[in-house]
Amino acid sequence: QGCTQKYIVKNYFYYYLFKFSAALGEEIFYITFLPFTYWNIDHSVSRRMIIVWSIVMYIGQVSKDILKWPRPLSPPVVKLEMRTNAEYGMPSTHAMAATAISFSFFIATMNQYKYPFELGLAAAFVFSTLVCLSRLYTGMHTVLDVIGGALISAVLLMLLYPAWDMIDHLLLTSPFCPLFSIVVPLVLCYNYPKLDYYSPTRGDTTTILGAAAGATVGFWLNNQYAAPAYTSKSFQPGLPLVTSTMVLVLARFFVGILVVLLTRWVMKSVVLGMLGYRYKFPIRDVEARRRLEVEVPYKFVTYSSVGFTATVIVPLLHELLGLM
């Protein structure tokens, strides 16, 4: 499963387009776009996307390991990715994530910002379609996997939409929110469906639920202590409005993402070091890191710290630097 295949790229436009599109359904996109919306667009939009994303992805990941539908056979398919090859195929969680994020963003913003409805709908459709097509191009999913993932995500989004405001209100105001946000995801991760061989799905699910848990605790804490919200009033004098806004947006993003990535690196090292000491294994031992008692706390603590940092520590730093 770890072997690579030789192939010849005949159309570099499609190759790079779909390789890039595939990355829109992976950690590099989640760890940049979701915090970006919190720092620069709207807190309520970010909260709703994270709620939908975490629920949709958990259901998608668990469904894979319950259904156990294999990925496309290779040959005849040429697979351009190897990391997720050990996972099952149905449903495509890339398709689920792309559909959930793009359409939840569209639905959450269409009544808050002035832009053509058709343009927003088309943007959400193009984004999700590109990610779905990338899974076919890279040989990682069948057409049925992709359609199934998109449809499941759409159904879940329709079911969750009427409860958005209620869920958001409870997560912001309930005194039990921090406990609920940590305990429930941990229970789900420790009771993840068992497989006959190792698959990265449990680790990826723990990463997603951990990040959402940390962010949710951050949302609750900010609401309790009335943390200052981002505004568009801080412009550099003498610069055109658009230019100063872009400078502010980019400054927030680069400062924030630097702190988030630093948090991830530090927490990975610290948590792995502690678990290695506790269970007597070297940090570079890949097999040991795949064990349940290591993988779940390692990923959960690391990424809950990332979520908390993005929603609490980074905004405090932005305020200190005059970027609010």
Radius of gyration for the chain, computed over Cα atoms and rounded to the nearest angstrom:
20
Please report which helix (H) or strand (E) contains residue 146, including its range.
Answer: helix 143-160
Amino acid in the structure at residue 63:
S
Q: Are 153 and 59 in contact (CB under 8 A)?
A: no
Classified as helix, coil or strand, 257 is helix
Burial class (CB in 10 A: 0-12, 13-18, 19+), 88: buried
Please report which helix (H) or strand (E) contains residue 74, including its range.
Answer: none
Task: Give Cβ neighbours of residue 303 (< 8 Å, ≥ 6 apart).
Answer: 206, 207, 208, 210, 211, 214, 264
* Residue 318 is among the residues annotated as catalytic for this protein: no
Query: In whole angstroms, what is the distance from residue 79 CA to residue 312 CA?
Result: 40
Amino acid in the structure at residue 150:
A
Taking phi first (over 0 means left), then psi (-120 to 50 degrees means alpha), and beta for anything else, what does residue 77 get?
beta
Query: In whole angstroms, what is the distance from residue 14 CA to residue 211 CA?
Result: 32
Query: In whole angstroms, what is the distance from residue 276 CA to residue 176 CA?
Result: 32
Question: Which positions are catalytic?
Answer: 94, 141
